[in-house]
Amino acid sequence: MTPLSKRVLALVAGGSSALVIANQFLNEREGNKLIAYRDAGGVVTVCRGVVLPGMRVGQRFTEEQCNVMNEAALKASDVQVDTLVHVPMSAPQRAAVISFCAYNIGPGKCGASTFLRKLNAGDRPGACAEIRKWIKDGGKDCRVRSNGCYGQVDRRDMEYQLCLMD
């Protein structure tokens, strides 16, 4: 299992909010690319995974523009979690759901997922285990390193760990 970074663990231990934890986690897992590119799933994205209508591969943005877009995407993801999840969560658990459900797979897929059904039914261990099953990107099995998306497997391991934290 891929361990969480010392920075994320320090934020959790220090009692940071879900948004602070999620922000650090997403910075580590997504990076901040200033030039739009096509991700492993074929989606044109920029900054920390932001998707904009009409954006094209190679389009350039400034770091300041990305910071604004990243902040807006994080806040929107937090609001999406409010609409999807109906049970109390700790800050690290909420950070995991922001990253996995709202930010990465999207509210549509998350809303119909076994993960969300189990989470809202109060089966947190079962829900957290579901996170680790989402290891395909653009139809590619990310456990196969040659598919170029193995980072997805590591990310799911880390989201799983955050999901289990009280």
- Distance, in Å, from the CA atom of 3 to the CA atom of 162, rounded to the nearest integer, reads 10
Model pLDDT for residues 139-153, shown as the tens digit of each residue: 889 999 998 889 899
- The pLDDT value given to residue 101: 94
58 token code pair: 């190679």
**Which pairs with CB-CB distance under 8 Å and at least 24 residues apart come from 64-71?**
66/32, 66/34, 70/26, 70/32
159 included as an active-site residue: no
pLDDT tens per residue across span 12-64: 999 999 999 999 999 999 889 999 999 877 889 999 999 999 999 999 999 99
Instruction: Look up 30 and say whether it is catalytic.
Output: yes
Q: What does DSSP assign to residue 5? A: P
* Distance (Å, whole) CA 110 – CA 73: 16
Alpha carbon distance 86, 4 (integer Å): 26
Q: Which of 30, 78, 137, 159 is catalytic?
A: 30
Q: What's the pTM?
A: 0.92
Which member of 28, 39, 154, 157 is catalytic? 39
Which tens digits make up the pLDDT trace of 79-124? 999 999 999 999 999 999 999 998 889 899 999 999 999 999 999 9
The CATH label, of 1.10.530.40, 3.40.1350.10, 3.50.50.60, 3.40.50.1100, for the domain at 6-164 is 1.10.530.40
Please list the helix, strand and coil fractions of the chain in percent, rounded to the nearest 5, in that order. 55, 10, 35
